[in-house]
Structure 1
Amino acid sequence: MEIIKIAAIYLCNELTFVVMTPHGLTNVSLLEEEKNIDGLILALTDPMFPVRGDAAKALGKIGDPHAVEPLIGILTDDPKDLVRGLAAQALGQIGDSRAIGPLIASVNTDLSPFARFYSALALGEFPDDGVVVQLLEVLGGDPDNNVRIAALASLRKQTSEM
């Protein structure tokens, strides 16, 4: 088994993960700075969850719609709730309507309150009557108080945009 070394470095006052793998160096901040969408999408498959999470955040900041499908894959399939939550946040930042169904599924079925919280917040970025109905259901039925608060914040955003 090859050892993967992680070095945390400070770049622009933000903690960034640089991962040395047998395939080379993955520096998510550099990929983000270069707006290298393909490189960031590839980083979503990295075996190290901090790299996947940083890649999801970077893709959300850039806002390129080409990242929507790979981020949906992360939202539905990543084993780490942190990464699923960051993918939800990124999908909300991008604002592509293809994300609505997967975000609704996540807020209703993900076992992690963290992932449901960020899915509920992300849904606030989509002015849609169906989203409002789903957020009302979350507000009335999610067992986690923080998820309900996120749903309420998204509902407030929705109603202020109508």
Structure 2
Amino acid sequence: MAEEHKRIGFLLEELKSNDWKVREDAAELLGEVGEPNAVEHLIEALEDNDWHVREAAALSLAIFEDERTIEPLIRLMDDKKANVRYGAAIGLSMVGDQRAVDVLEKATADENSVVRKVAKLALKEVKNRL
């Protein structure tokens, strides 16, 4: 167990790296590990300067199905990068919160076809969870 805590601590530190790729990898791995203590750190990573990190954090947050992620993911649906909006839609789909409905409905008309498709699927999933 102590070894697991060391690895989690290492990944949380890596989220602060100067290298965007290291931060992206750390965000992805934190989602794979499913460490609940990582949620707040991943929410912070949604505001990273690099879109790769924002996308990875959004996708990782989907694993946790935590209502604390709803508002930050909703804000991310306005991101300039389609990949980030895609990640946010996936994250929103996994919580099933009424607050996600309006933003996902709006995203079904997104300029990016992949975001539109994922938003439609996410909207269906959210409604199924309500």
Alpha-carbon separation, structure 2, partners of 1:97 and 1:75: 15
Check conservation: 1:118, 1:150, Cα contact below 8 A.
no
Deviation at 1:161, TM superposition (A): 3.3
Indicate the residue corresponding to 2:50 in structure 1. Answer: 80
* 1:101 paired to 2:71: yes
Instruction: Give the structure with the higher percent helix.
Output: 2
Query: Over aligned residues, Cα RMSD in angstroms?
Result: 1.6
Check conservation: 2:92, 2:126, Cα contact below 8 A.
no
* 1:42 paired to 2:13: yes
Q: Which consecutive unaligned segments of at least 5 residues does structure 2 have?
A: none
TM-score, with normalisation over the residues of structure 2?
0.88
Instruction: Give the structure with the higher percent strand.
Output: 1
Indicate the residue corresponding to 2:108 in structure 1. Answer: 139
Amino acid at match of 1:149: K
Check conservation: 1:106, 1:115, Cα contact below 8 A.
yes
Indicate the residue corresponding to 1:122 in structure 2. Answer: 91
Answer 1 or 2: higher relative contact order, Cα 8 Å, separation at least 6. 2
Amino acid at match of 2:22: V
* Structure number, greater radius of gyration: 1
Amino acid at match of 2:111: P
Indicate the residue corresponding to 2:120 in structure 1. Answer: 152
Q: How many residues align?
A: 127
Divergent runs of 4+, >4 A: none
TM-score, with normalisation over the residues of structure 1?
0.72
Check conservation: 2:45, 2:53, Cα contact below 8 A.
yes
